[in-house]
Amino acid sequence: MTIAPQSRAPVAPSEPALSVTGVTHTFGARKALDDVTLEAPRGAFTALVGQNGAGKTTLFSLITRLYDNRSGTIRVLGHDVRRDPAAALSQLGVVFQSRTLDLELTVLQNLLYHAALHGIGRREAKERAYVALRRVSLEGRAKDRVRALSGGQMRRVEIARALLHQPSLLLLDEPTTGLDIGSRRTLIEEVRRLIDEDGIGVLWATHLVDEIEVADRVVVLHKGRVMADGTVDELRARAGAEDVGAAFLAVVGADDAEGVVLARRASA
């Protein structure tokens, strides 16, 4: 399937990169998402934080149309993903939780393959690939096989690949999984720079509370429900806590947050 890069309808400047309104999703009797409403503005880092099983991946699967949203509305830059999927998906870049690069191909080949799926011509694709690799400081590795890269570098190639069709919204599902502390920091800094320089909107799903600190906005998802939505300072003030981890605990209920706290300790 190719997604036409030219399917870009005019968009009001006030439209957020992502808006989700009243979305519920069930797997049989299990409610994975319960009346979820949230926004990810353009030019901002929005952290979606929750424990394992909170519903983060389910939400991403609905935004990317892997699942059909049967209730509520999901808009990407104003385009309803159900009613106008081509326009919505053309504005969307995704880095999935599992790695999805072909290890035997070079970095450039991986990018060109993805660009072809988006209907981008080869010459244009090559130019865009080098621009995107420069954005993540990897232009010198274009001709290397992916297998030769570190885990953090592979993640940055995936981000470059997600940027090829020039989306307005970048979704990242637990992107620092398996990375050491230095690679995690580099990845966060690269994404922060993309936001500041390109004005892209980012929704970064994580269960690591220390990754919230850099976010402009935080959405706390717990057992499928949005428990808090605001700036890091608002989250701290609401919970009456200095520390963002303590604020998270207070919002979701201390007894329930063990997975997140342990994850935070493990990553410190």
Ligand X SMILES: Nc1ncnc2c1ncn2[C@@H]1O[C@H](COP(=O)(O)OP(=O)(O)OP(=O)(O)O)[C@@H](O)[C@H]1O
Smaller CB distance to ligand X: residue 49 or 149? 49
Binders of ligand X: how many residues, by CB under 6 A? 13
The contact pattern for ligand X, residues 12-31, with x = CB under 6 A and - = no contact, is: ---------------x--x-
Pick out residues in 47-86 that bind ligand X (CB under 6 A). Answer: 50, 52-58
Smaller CB distance to ligand X: residue 1 or 27? 27
Residue 207 found at the interface with ligand X (CB under 6 A): yes
Q: Using CA atoms of 203, 83, 64, 204 in order, give the dihedral in degrees to the nearest 10.
A: 0
The contact pattern for ligand X, residues 146-185, with x = CB under 6 A and - = no contact, is: ----------------------------x-----------
Smaller CB distance to ligand X: residue 57 or 137? 57
Smaller CB distance to ligand X: residue 100 or 122? 100
CA distance 107 to 139: 10
Among 20, 23, 32, 247, binds ligand X (CB under 6 A): 32
Smaller CB distance to ligand X: residue 50 or 245? 50
| Residues 6 or more apart in contact with residue 13 via CB below 8 angstroms | none
Smaller CB distance to ligand X: residue 133 or 174? 174
Which of 97, 21, 90 minimizes the C-alpha distance to 58? 97
Give min distance, CB of 108 to ligand X, in A. Answer: 31
Give min distance, CB of 101 to ligand X, in A. Answer: 20
Q: Using CA atoms of 219, 11, 92, 120 in order, give the dihedral in degrees to the nearest 10.
A: -170
Give min distance, CB of 92 to ligand X, in A. Answer: 18
Say which DSSP state 141 is in. Answer: G
CA distance 206 to 56: 8
Give how far Cα 194 sits from Cα of 113, 170, 232, Å. 23, 10, 20
Determine the interface stretch with ligand X among 13-21, 36-44, 46-54, 235-243 (rule: CB under 6 A).
Answer: 46-54
Residues that bind ligand X (CB under 6 A): 27, 30, 32, 50, 52-58, 174, 207
